[in-house]
Amino acid sequence: MKILNLYACLGGNRYKWDEVTDVEVTAVEWDEELARLYQERFPQDTVIVADAHQYLLDHYKEFDFIWSSPPCPSHSRARFWNTKAKRIYPDLKLYEEILFLSTHFLGKYVVENVIPYYEPLVPAQKRGRHLYWSNFKLPSTLSHRKIKMVEEAVSVSFDEIKKLSNYHDYDFNKYKGKQRRDKIARNLVDYEAGKTILETAIGVITKQNVKQTELF
């Protein structure tokens, strides 16, 4: 299965995909340090340092399944409620990708983001603290794993990073780049949710293939 993993970070969503099926993953991340660490974590993947938004437009036809996790700060409720945070426009590239994938892409896709501070412009499937825009139905529970997170706008302690490192099975102290380490650690999707979503997509694709074979 050819998968495009956009805004790849450290591949929280991708971590358990090899347990689901044979995957050929292309990951796009523009932070060079994250891309380097992603490549170290998943040596078999193709890692591209580029703008994921543009890459989607240029390459979407090459894949069976696309996962996109655009940055969430401009949509997040925590940032909106934080009166000290600089005001910014919600980044509508999120909706550009959703509309583009839902109308042009023939495979299965998932766009993932936080629950925004406004009514989402396109209806989504809400699971836990996230919204998922997808062209297939997700199970009501994506993961049974639990973690108590400190509030998003507050910078987290060393212990909190340790807790997140255990949860994601990754040592975030390896990251020596320009972004805040605690922010990176909080960015990762729960790997069980990533696994459930890929399994669901494959289930849907298999059913569609059986139906088509029955027709002929």
Ligand X SMILES: C[S@@+](CC[C@H](N)C(=O)[O-])C[C@H]1O[C@@H](n2cnc3c(N)ncnc32)[C@H](O)[C@@H]1O
Interface positions with ligand X (CB under 6 A): 7, 9-13, 28-31, 34, 51-53, 69, 71-72, 187-189
Nearer to ligand X, 160 or 192 (CB): 192
At its nearest, how many Å lie between ligand X and the CB of residue 51? Answer: 4
Amino acid residing at 211: K
Nearer to ligand X, 179 or 209 (CB): 179
Amino acid residing at 152: E
Is residue 184 within 8 A of residue 34, CB to CB? The reply is yes
- In the complex, residue closest to ligand X by CB: 12
The three-class DSSP label of residue 183 is: helix
Nearer to ligand X, 1 or 190 (CB): 190
At its nearest, how many Å lie between ligand X and the CB of residue 213? Answer: 34
At its nearest, how many Å lie between ligand X and the CB of residue 211? Answer: 31
At its nearest, how many Å lie between ligand X and the CB of residue 104? Answer: 19
Q: What is the DSSP string of 1-46?
A: -EEEEES-TT-TTTTTGGGTS--EEEEE-S-HHHHHHHHHH-TTSE
Nearer to ligand X, 94 or 189 (CB): 189
Please report, in angstroms and rounded to a whole number, the separation of the first and last CA atoms in the chain: 24
Q: Computed from CA positions of residues 139, 141, 145, 147, in that sequence, does the dihedral angle turn out positive or negative?
A: positive
